[in-house]
Amino acid sequence: MQKKTDGLLDIIRTRALDNCPRVALGVRNPTPKLIQSAEKAQVEGYARVVLIGNQREISAIGTNLEVIDTPQPEKVLGSLLASGDVDAAVRGTAKASGTLSHLKEVLGIEKLYRVAFLLTHDNNPFFLAPVGIDEGHSLSDKIELVQRSAAYIRRFGIEPEIGILSGGRMGDLGRDERVDRTLADADFLANRLNDAGIDAKHYTILIEDAIRKSNFILAPDGISGNLIFRSLVFLGGGNGIGAPVLLDKHVFIDTSRAGGHYTLAIMLAASLVSNKKEVV
């Protein structure tokens, strides 16, 4: 397996084209940009896209894509995925809380884990977790998250290299109790993950070093991870492609409603369907 993510987008694109599955996209408050991005995914051959939302609102914009009419895309997405009526689902602009809570309900899962797939401003792909504000608060949660993410990343033929971040440099020890705890936690995580056969290194607060030498950034917690995501995507010229929910038998890509462009998220979902069939 290769360690860096060079060529990863090409791998994802090829797998999507090889499979071209049926992918549902959640639609609430549709825009021309959203519809056009979904149409592009189908025209490019990544997927057969099904829009899940208010048909009247979608038709007012106009599209030749299949539409499943519903006032509650948050519930229909998970139900279609669980029933096998679609091969994969992308949240799109459906509301996050309702979508994810229903997904847990229909799949019979107590806790969801996600790993974000992003591009820097110069199109360098990498993975980031945790990204949910309520995720990654305990050491055991972070270990579970990394182990699940590592298995997912390996499906692309990429060996994960984990860059663990904390709240300061080692020379900052003693300045603040909370910072001291993040430094100690990051050292513990690096040792535990390496013992488990996962390449991991503590880069302290130096994210600029971690991104050069790692392909998976582990933030100190979900709040800081979410801030990294938003700073990169909305201020720094990067791209948040999507966050696969780490499931064994289903493919669901979580997305930010703020972006409004879903071609690459649909492509990512389609590539994982192909991969799922090979692995499971």
- In the predicted model, what is the mean pLDDT of residues 128-132? 95
Task: Show the tokens assigned to 218.
Answer: 């582990």
User: Does domain 1-108+246-274 sit in CATH 3.40.50.10950?
Assistant: yes
| Portions of the chain given CATH number 3.40.50.10950 | 1-108+246-274
Tell me yes or no: is domain 116-238 CATH 3.40.50.10490.
Answer: no
Amino acid, res. 268: L
Residue 76 C-alpha from the chain's centroid: 20
| Span 146-200, pLDDT tens digits | 999 999 999 888 899 999 999 999 988 889 999 999 999 999 999 999 999 999 9
* Cα–Cα distance measured from residue 137 to residue 185, given in angstroms and rounded to the nearest whole number: 11
Question: Which pLDDT value is given to residue 235?
Answer: 94
Query: Where along the chain do the CATH 3.40.718.10 domains lie?
Result: 116-238
Tell me what pLDDT residue 259 has.
67
The phi and psi torsions of 126 (rounded to 5 degrees) equal: -155, 165
Q: What is the pLDDT of residue 256?
A: 82
Asked if 23 and 48 touch (Cβ cutoff 8 Å), the reply is yes
Q: Where are the beta strands (DSSP E) in 107-205?
A: 116-119, 125-129, 161-164, 199-202
Burial call 131-149: b when 16+ CB within 10 Å, e when fewer: bbeebbeeeebbbebbbbb
What is the DSSP secondary structure assignment for residue 237, as one 8-state letter?
A: S
Which residues lie closer than 8 Å to 25 by C-beta, 6 or more apart?
38, 49, 50, 51, 52, 89, 90, 92, 262, 266
Q: pTM score, two decimals?
A: 0.91
CA distance linking residue 126 with residue 14, whole number of Å:
18
